[in-house]
Amino acid sequence: MSGVKIHTKEDAYRLFDEAVTALTTTNFIITEKPITDLLRCLVYSDYLRAFITDCKKGVDYEAELAAAVQETEDGYVFTLPKSNKRVIALVTGLLHDFDVGARSLTSFIQTFWQNADNNARYRHFCDDVLLPYKRAFRELFLADADKGDGSAEDEVTVKVTDAVLENAAPLFSALRTAFVEDNKLSQKKREDLIAMTDGLYYALEKGNVRIIKTIWIGLKLALDGNKKAERKFSDVSEFLALYALI
């Protein structure tokens, strides 16, 4: 790597591209060195080092990792965040954990991909994690690493499927009912809380992440010790967190 000349961001990206390609095309049993080489390249170039530092700002790695793990009827699945910045922060942190031994790559792929052998599991890991990481890196790094987040457009609007909305509807309905049936609420506050609940669902329909989070925070602050509604709101919150919407 010492012989590589880096004069531009494009040069730096080619360095990264070569390193991540080496990792995604290697055999599972010899991934240790390619992982180390990739992480070294991220600190070798001033461009890449500054970019990774910027991507990590404001991102809670452990929280992102927890949010990426979802339980299904068939076991656990690993789902990347929706924004490029968070994908880069999460996967870089994960690779670092593998490199220093804080987490086991073998255990990781065996947990999330139910194939007969580790080589097949590793191929799924490459397809589902490393290749999206590579795409996110290219899109964000080559576009403009100086935007701060650099992924604001990714985070403003997301595609929310009909299936997600169908699963969300009963949770919002239950929260709405909790407000309707609460005789301790004044008429004005009941109407306001119902309007906020309806507005949150509407924002979910539109996939507007900023508005979802804004209304969610408002509802959270407005509950004011309403235990029954808080339980229903907690169900809504867990659902939104599951899809990395708050």
- Residue 145 pLDDT: 38
Give the whole-angstrom CA distance, residue 154 versus residue 143: 13
Give the whole-angstrom CA distance, residue 209 versus residue 203: 8
Give the whole-angstrom CA distance, residue 180 versus residue 185: 9
Structure tokens at 147: 């935007």
Place of tokens 């080496």: 22
- Residue 157 pLDDT: 66
CA nearest neighbour of 69 among 59, 79, 60, 61 = 79
Weakly modelled stretches of the chain, pLDDT under 50: 1-3, 145-155
Helix (H, G, I), strand (E, B) or coil at 217: helix
Residue 130: other Cβ atoms inside 10 A: 19
Its pTM stands at 0.58
155 touches 82 (CB < 8 A): yes
Cα four-point dihedral sign 129, 134, 135, 140? positive
CA nearest neighbour of 229 among 167, 187, 168, 183 = 183
| CA 179 centroid distance within chain | 32
127 touches 121 (CB < 8 A): no
What's the residue count for the chain? 246
The predicted-structure confidence for 126-139, as pLDDT tens digits, reads as follows 999 999 999 999 98
- Residue 6 pLDDT: 60
Place of tokens 């795409």: 135
DSSP code of residue 90: H
Q: What are phi and psi of 27, to 5 degrees?
A: -80, 150
- Residue 85 pLDDT: 92
- Residue 155 pLDDT: 46
